[in-house]
Amino acid sequence: MFKNINIFLFICIKISFFSFSIFIPNIYNMAKELTNRSENYSQWYNDLVVKADLAENSAVRGCMVIKPYGYAIWEKMQAQLDKMFKETGHVNAYFPLFIPKSFFSKEASHVEGFAKECAVVTHYRLKNDPNGKGIIVDENAKLEEELIVRPTSETIIWNTYKNWIQSYRDLPILCNQWANVVRWEMRTRLFLRTAEFLWQEGHTAHATKEEAIEEAEKMIRVYADFAENFLALPVIMGAKSANERFAGAIETYTIEALMQDGKALQSGTSHFLGQNFAKAFDVTFTSKEGTLDYVWATSWGVSTRLMGALIMAHSDDNGLVLPPKLAPIQVVIVPIYKGEEQLTEISKTAISIKKNLESLGISVKYDNRDTQKPGWKFAEYELKGVPVRIAIGPRDIEQGTVEIARRDTLTKETLPIEGIEYTIQQLLETIQNSIYKKAFDFRESNTIEVQTYEEFKNAISKQIGFVSAHWDGTTETEEKIKQETKATIRCIPFNAKQEEGTCIYSGKPSKQRVLFAIAY
């Protein structure tokens, strides 16, 4: 990686002395000003998604357009997740967009959860309106059985697996699908809750219960690894309470993250489905011992909702803050010049720095457009969350320096050009870790343990964050707490210590604290 060990050592020492001056907020930002988080967090989020060119609402109610800059971030997420899925033995496949209506009725609890608010295809042809008013549905082209646009694919996939599985030799099946899904949400928000969204859904089939549980646990760990190391998003892994489980699951595992407004965001789930879908679709296999048994299942998914998590966890009043590992542009170079001659001179240096950075696998944009002023560009890349900005002016060229600005801390410093690519390589890693640390510290200082229901209600009403409390384990208590406070059990953490206590609501005995929060 380092061509010269001396340069490497120099940088290591240099980095430890990194002291950035405070960055002066840019007046050019005014044109695209965001609502402040403290003023209206929800409006800030909506502003940011639109103004940073991530996504926008479309002409179709609840469906979004993911704009190129937003999609580029999603592509980076996809590429990394896909790699992690393949490394854990999974393969991709593709199943139909449509599901026959009757399939939903086959798994009793699944139908309640998924076959309600959904897009229903009833006809397969349009025709010219005989009255000359455009086109109308051809009533002669009515489907015998309505088709549902998939809200999730367990049913169509298990109907397919039936033909793929006869013997234990056909198991396990470890398929994933990247797809669009539709859930007819009444209140939608870009990325967080949209009628159509993009996701991946893993659907696996196993010979034993143990193997299926192991798979479901493995995948929630893959999600946690991805969230923490790529999204820079600290998450708490745990199991859902019965009430919050996926419709059709025996166990649902989740990763829960905390947003800057103190609300929790469920960021990925993995389900142990038992034999529910195998029974619903009659999927059996002959075991090694010659007995016939139902197949065991899991499913797991993350979606474009992760874009919402990414935005809400790290960004600030100036715009996006992107962890370098997911930033489409990791470094932007902006020339500060007057006249063609200065630009030519600066461009030589800029292009050379760009080349050196790219040879280290760093993505760089050199913005030499003469249609926009440097200040406008600074504001634009702040808004878009580019982690590092390099500014080069004529004096820099004279002195062999450049100005480096960090997006996450809004600090800047002048540094020598010599070896700048290694400084920046190291800096990107520092920024990645620093964004994670900031989010982690925020979560730690916004997680509170309470002993009584009064304390609980007080914490929830202030929307502090995660509230850790004893719970008697009943759905009844959970629902009453939800009715009274709007807080839900986000998860029963995997790593919670065993601790005798009494339920904050019922006073009954409890052996473990669970995490409550107001959630997205």
Strands 466-470 and 488-493: unpaired
Which residue in 186, 104, 107, 189 sits closest to 151, CA to CA? 104
97-105, 292-300, 462-470, 502-510 -> range binding its own copies (CB under 8 A): 97-105
Interface with its own copies, residue 58, by CB under 8 A: yes
Interface with its own copies, residue 117, by CB under 8 A: yes
Q: Is 483 exposed, middle or buried (0-12, 13-18, 19+ CB in 10 A)?
A: exposed
Binding residue for its own copies (CB under 8 A) from 48, 49, 147, 450?
A: 147
**DSSP H stretches of helix in 179-236:** 209-229
Interface with its own copies, residue 115, by CB under 8 A: yes
User: Other CB atoms closer than 10 Å to residue 30's CB: what's the count?
Assistant: 8
102-110, 341-349, 376-384, 387-395 -> range binding its own copies (CB under 8 A): 102-110
Binding residue for its own copies (CB under 8 A) from 122, 399, 461, 475?
A: 122
Nearer to its own copies, 46 or 512 (CB): 46
The Cα-based distances of 343 to 335, 357, 370, 392 in angstroms read 7, 20, 10, 10
For its own copies, the binding residues in 61-90 under the rule CB under 8 A are 63-68, 71-72, 74-75
Identity of residue 478: E
Size of residue set near its own copies by CB under 8 A: 63
Nearer to its own copies, 202 or 473 (CB): 202
Q: Which residues, other chains included, contact 367 with Cβ-Cβ below 8 Å and sequence gap of 6+?
A: 332, 333, 334, 335, 377, 381
Give the x/- contact pattern for its own copies in 290-319, rule: CB under 8 A.
Answer: ------------------------------
Residues 75, 363: contact at Cβ < 8 Å?
Answer: no
Cis ω before 130 (30° cut-off from 0): no
Where is 162: in which H helix or E strand?
Answer: helix 154-164
CB of 182 to its own copies, least distance (A): 7
Nearer to its own copies, 283 or 492 (CB): 283
Binding residue for its own copies (CB under 8 A) from 21, 36, 92, 243?
A: 92
Interface with its own copies, residue 140, by CB under 8 A: no
19-27, 117-125, 241-249, 447-455 -> range binding its own copies (CB under 8 A): 117-125
Q: Which residues, other chains included, contact 2 with Cβ-Cβ below 8 Å and sequence gap of 6+?
A: 8, 422
Q: What is the DSSP string of 427-440?
A: HHHHHHHHHHHHHH
For its own copies, the binding residues in 452-491 under the rule CB under 8 A are none
For its own copies, the binding residues in 171-210 under the rule CB under 8 A are 175, 179-180, 182, 184, 196, 198
| Side-chain half-sphere exposure of 261, counting CA atoms within 13 A | 18
Residues forming the site for its own copies (CB under 8 A):
56, 58-60, 63-68, 71-72, 74-75, 91-105, 111, 115-127, 134-135, 137, 146-149, 156, 159-160, 163, 169, 175, 179-180, 182, 184, 196, 198, 371
